[in-house]
Amino acid sequence: MSVHNPPLRDTAWRGWQLGGSTAQAYERFLVPAVFAPWGRELVRLADPAPDARVLDVACGTGVLARIAAERLNPDARVTGVDINPDMIAVARAVAPERAEPIRFTVGDACALDLPGGEFDTVLCQQALQFLADREAALAEMRRVLVPGGRLALSVLRPLRYNPAYGAFAEALARHVGPDAGAMMRAPFPELDTDDLRGLLRGAGFDPVTVRISVTSARYPSVRELVRQETLSSPLAARIQEVDEAARADLVAETGRLLADHTDDEGVVLPVQTHLALAERPLMG
């Protein structure tokens, strides 16, 4: 699968200054380029029934909740929780109108403020790697599911399986700073397939299946890759602190390191991620 990020039309988002919040940049750039296509795959895997009650944990700007809502009856309950109030504000602003509006609330995945046994499906896309206590968060996801309910979760594979992002992190470390390189490496945790399976089993899920998914993220140019990835994340502050010459060097070096990934349509980064499907047992 490869995805095109649509061209940018309005002037507010040209250049390296934020035309709004980081959360708005995330919704504008990263959601169409990566999180919506990945989200469709994850929701397909979860395969919620039309009347399922669905919870999107660490929902960001709510893309997974929206994709799930498209498949559900208009009165099925969909809830999204995220710790970042800016993400929740954007999620509320872009939520579709439906008979039962999607509920977006600010909350911590490690201590969900929700009753147990309330959801048929829990979704969690690319957030486990950022959670302070992964075991507690998975135990919470299990707790809020009904017995027999299903969790579908995705988390990127380690950087050795995603070397294009490792190259980008290297360029960021050199031209913006070691902390910027570390920020680009953070989404790729040292969790192998057995580790993830073990975490899910340890949280009481059974059965558990983990799939390796190979996809790609496409950008119209190396400059757009650098600009969109940095403005849509905690890197936004760092990229705006450095001068124009450092940003030009960053784009040039990223281009050199990703020369093998550049074609007539821009640059394409292969991505490997884990997709897990796990069930709360009927008993226990």
Ligand X SMILES: C[S@@+](CC[C@H](N)C(=O)[O-])C[C@H]1O[C@@H](n2cnc3c(N)ncnc32)[C@H](O)[C@@H]1O
| Interface residues toward ligand X, by CB under 6 A | 35, 39, 58-60, 63-64, 82-84, 87, 108-110, 125-127, 130-131
**Which residues, at least 6 apart from 10, have a Cβ–Cβ distance to it below 8 Å?**
19
Compute the least distance from the CB of residue 104 to ligand X, in Å. 11
**How would you class 71 by CB atoms within 10 Å of its CB: exposed for 0-12, middle for 13-18, buried for 19 or more?**
middle
Tell me which DSSP letter residue 72 carries: S
Compute the least distance from the CB of residue 89 to ligand X, in Å. 12
Q: Which residue, 140 or 253, is less far from ligand X as judged by CB?
A: 140
Q: Largest alpha-carbon pair distance within the chain?
A: 61
Tokens of 184: 């680009």
Q: Which residue, 30 or 210, is less far from ligand X as judged by CB?
A: 30
Q: Which residue, 133 or 179, is less far from ligand X as judged by CB?
A: 133
Point out which residues pair with 151 in neighbouring strands: 122, 278
Compute the least distance from the CB of residue 110 to ligand X, in Å. 5
Q: Which residue, 91 or 258, is less far from ligand X as judged by CB?
A: 91
Handedness of CA 224, 84, 103, 284 (dihedral sign): positive
Closest CA to 146 of 112, 115, 100, 113: 115
Q: Which residue is nearest to ligand X (CB)?
A: 60
Q: Which residue, 25 or 58, is less far from ligand X as judged by CB?
A: 58
- Please report where in the chains the tokens 């109108």 appear, as a residue: 97
**Which residues, at least 6 apart from 262, have a Cβ–Cβ distance to it below 8 Å?**
222, 255
Helices (H) and strands (E) in the chain, counts: 11, 8
3-state DSSP percent of the chain in helix, strand and coil, to 5 = 45, 20, 35
Q: Which residue, 6 or 207, is less far from ligand X as judged by CB?
A: 6
Q: Which residue, 110 or 139, is less far from ligand X as judged by CB?
A: 110
Compute the least distance from the CB of residue 266 to ligand X, in Å. 22
**Which residues, at least 6 apart from 178, have a Cβ–Cβ distance to it below 8 Å?**
none
Compute the least distance from the CB of residue 262 to ligand X, in Å. 25
Compute the least distance from the CB of residue 62 to ligand X, in Å. 8
Instruction: List, in sequence order, the alpha helices (H) in the chain.
Output: 22-25, 36-46, 63-71, 85-94, 134-144, 163-175, 178-185, 193-202, 222-231, 235-241, 244-257
Q: Which residue, 39 or 181, is less far from ligand X as judged by CB?
A: 39
**Which residues, at least 6 apart from 58, have a Cβ–Cβ distance to it below 8 Å?**
81, 82, 83, 109, 124, 125, 127, 130, 131
